[in-house]
């Protein structure tokens, strides 16, 4: 009995095991089928998303194209209206004469027409627009302004010619004045130099002196240097002479000018103050020569100079502070 039960149990277990194995196989097949459907579903969903994106792009492109068509249509209408308003040209005639099918003249004159090239024509249009911008806005008063400027230019040209002529005349006058100045200066310098050599020899017995031009080739800018050599000395520069010698040399130069170009009267202020008796006596002899043709007014404290004068004038101050002029005629002046 127990053996039969065990055998039945063994058979039952075997049947159960087969049922379980079959169920596992069916479950695995169902899982694989489910995974395949999930993959297909994901692929379908991805395709749907791609198609939706393509649809959106197509719709956007169509919308943009519609906007572009509307914009171009508006531009065409504006161009047609501008052509009719500004140039009185019908749009059809404009297209027939200047449309893309019509040949375009080359950029350089004398060249044959070329086929319409939009890129090339846009480049030419941009270049022309830059040139137009450089020209600026059209000035409706340009003709009037040009006429006014033309008259102003003619007036200034006339004035310029007058200035050039005046400049030439002035240069001529300046040249004549320069020539005259050089002529007068050369004559005066020659006379003064001759008189100076004579006077310096009389004031410095045994000595000599002369006048030297610093720029002998250009009398308009030249200076004059004075050279004097007292007797017994080798130096000629004034800076190396004593005070009395320098004073005597200066007097010789002044007297040389007086004798070269005489004047009706001369005023001298203590020119002999630094001279000794012998030099003063020689100077008074020269004053006597000048007095023959001119009147000398000498301010001096030297008694010997006063003795040779015709009239003395003294200035003194009274006790109340008022200056008083005292005059004394020593001799009657000789008639010329």
CATH numbers and ranges of domains, the chain: 143-261 (3.40.50.300), 264-336 (3.40.50.300)
Of 24-28, 34-38, 73-77, 238-242, which one has max mean pLDDT?
73-77
Phi-psi map region of 48: left, alpha, beta (phi>0 left; psi -120 to 50 alpha): alpha
Is residue 18 predicted with pLDDT exceeding 50?
A: yes
The backbone torsions φ and ψ at residue 264, rounded to the nearest 5 degrees and listed phi first, read -60, -35
Tokens of 260: 């070269």
By residue count, the chain amounts to 336
Place of tokens 């969903």: 45
Q: What is the pLDDT at residue 106?
A: 53
Tokens of 287: 């004053």
Tokens of 319: 């006790």
Residue 303: C-alpha distances to residues 54, 206, 284, 312 (Å) = 135, 27, 12, 11
On whether the CB atoms of residues 191 and 261 are closer than 8 A, the answer is yes
Query: In the predicted model, what is the mean pLDDT of residues 219-239?
Result: 81
CA distance 325 to 311: 13
Instruction: Identify the residue with better confidence: 253 or 25.
Output: 253
Query: In the predicted model, what is the mean pLDDT of residues 115-131?
Result: 78
On whether the CB atoms of residues 276 and 244 are closer than 8 A, the answer is yes
Q: What is the pLDDT at residue 335?
A: 52
Instruction: Identify the residue with better confidence: 335 or 101.
Output: 101
Minimum mean pLDDT among 87-101, 227-241, 308-322: which range? 87-101
Is residue 104 predicted with pLDDT exceeding 70?
A: no
Q: Assign 172 a pLDDT band (cuts: 50, 70, 90).
A: very high
Residues 254-282 pLDDT 10s: 888 888 888 888 888 888 887 878 888 88
Instruction: Identify the residue with better confidence: 106 or 89.
Output: 89
Q: Assign 336 a pLDDT band (cuts: 50, 70, 90).
A: very low
Instruction: Identify the residue with better confidence: 159 or 82.
Output: 159
Expressed in percent and rounded to 5, the helix, strand and coil fractions of the chain are: 65, 10, 25
Minimum mean pLDDT among 113-122, 178-187, 256-265: which range? 113-122
Is residue 176 predicted with pLDDT exceeding 90?
A: yes
CA distance 91 to 151: 46
Query: In the predicted model, what is the mean pLDDT of residues 131-141?
Result: 79
**Closest to 188 (Cα-Cα) out of 262, 296, 251:** 262
Residue 4: C-alpha distances to residues 7, 17, 44, 318 (Å) = 5, 20, 59, 190
The backbone torsions φ and ψ at residue 188, rounded to the nearest 5 degrees and listed phi first, read -65, -40
The backbone torsions φ and ψ at residue 104, rounded to the nearest 5 degrees and listed phi first, read -110, 135
Place of tokens 């692929």: 43
Q: Helix (H, G, I), strand (E, B), or coil: what is residue 324?
A: strand
CA distance 162 to 169: 10
Query: In the predicted model, what is the mean pLDDT of residues 297-312?
Result: 86
Estimate to the nearest angstrom the gap between the alpha carbon of 219 and the chain centroid: 36
Q: What is the pLDDT at residue 149?
A: 92
The number of C-alpha atoms within 13 Å of 38 and in the hemisphere containing its C-beta is 6
Is residue 73 predicted with pLDDT exceeding 80?
A: yes
Q: What is the pLDDT at residue 150?
A: 93
Q: What is the pLDDT at residue 243?
A: 76
Is residue 239 predicted with pLDDT exceeding 90?
A: no
Instruction: Identify the residue with better confidence: 284 or 105.
Output: 284
| % of the chain surpassing 90 pLDDT | 10
Q: Assign 9 a pLDDT band (cuts: 50, 70, 90).
A: confident
**Closest to 251 (Cα-Cα) out of 232, 264, 270:** 270
């Amino acid at each position: 009995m127990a053996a039969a039960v065990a055998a039945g149990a063994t058979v039952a277990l075997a049947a159960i095991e087969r049922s379980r194995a079959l169920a596992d196989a069916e479950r695995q097949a169902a899982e694989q089928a489910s995974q395949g459907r999930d993959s297909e579903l994901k692929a379908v969903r991805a395709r749907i998303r791609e198609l939706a994106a393509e649809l959106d792009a197509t719709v956007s492109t169509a919308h943009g194209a519609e906007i572009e068509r509307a914009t171009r249509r508006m531009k065409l209408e504006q161009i047609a209206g501008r052509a009719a308003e500004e140039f009185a040209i019908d749009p059809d005639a404009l297209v027939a004469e200047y449309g893309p099918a019509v040949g375009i003249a080359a950029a350089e004159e004398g060249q044959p027409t070329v086929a319409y090239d939009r890129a090339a024509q846009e480049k030419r249009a941009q270049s022309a627009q830059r040139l137009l911008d450089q020209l600026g806005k059209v000035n409706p008063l340009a003709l009037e302004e040009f006429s006014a400027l033309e008259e102003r230019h003619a007036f200034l040209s006339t004035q310029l010619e007058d200035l050039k002529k005046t400049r030439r005349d002035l240069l001529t006058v300046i040249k004549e004045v320069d020539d005259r100045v050089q002529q007068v200066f050369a004559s005066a310098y020659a006379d003064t130099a001759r008189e100076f050599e004579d006077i310096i020899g009389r004031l410095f017995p045994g000595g000599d002196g002369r006048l030297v031009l610093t720029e002998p080739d250009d009398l308009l800018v030249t200076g004059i240097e004075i050279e004097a050599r007292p007797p017994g000395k080798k130096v000629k520069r004034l800076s190396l002479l004593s005070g009395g010698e320098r004073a005597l040399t200066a007097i010789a130069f002044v007297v040389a000018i007086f004798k070269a170009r005489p004047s009706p009267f001369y005023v001298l202020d203590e020119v002999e103050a630094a001279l000794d008796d012998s030099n003063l006596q020689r100077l008074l002899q020269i004053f006597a020569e000048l007095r023959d043709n001119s009147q000398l007014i000498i301010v001096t404290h030297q008694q010997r100079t006063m003795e040779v004068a015709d009239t003395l004038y003294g200035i003194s101050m009274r006790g109340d502070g008022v200056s008083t002029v005292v005059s004394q005629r020593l001799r009657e002046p000789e008639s010329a």
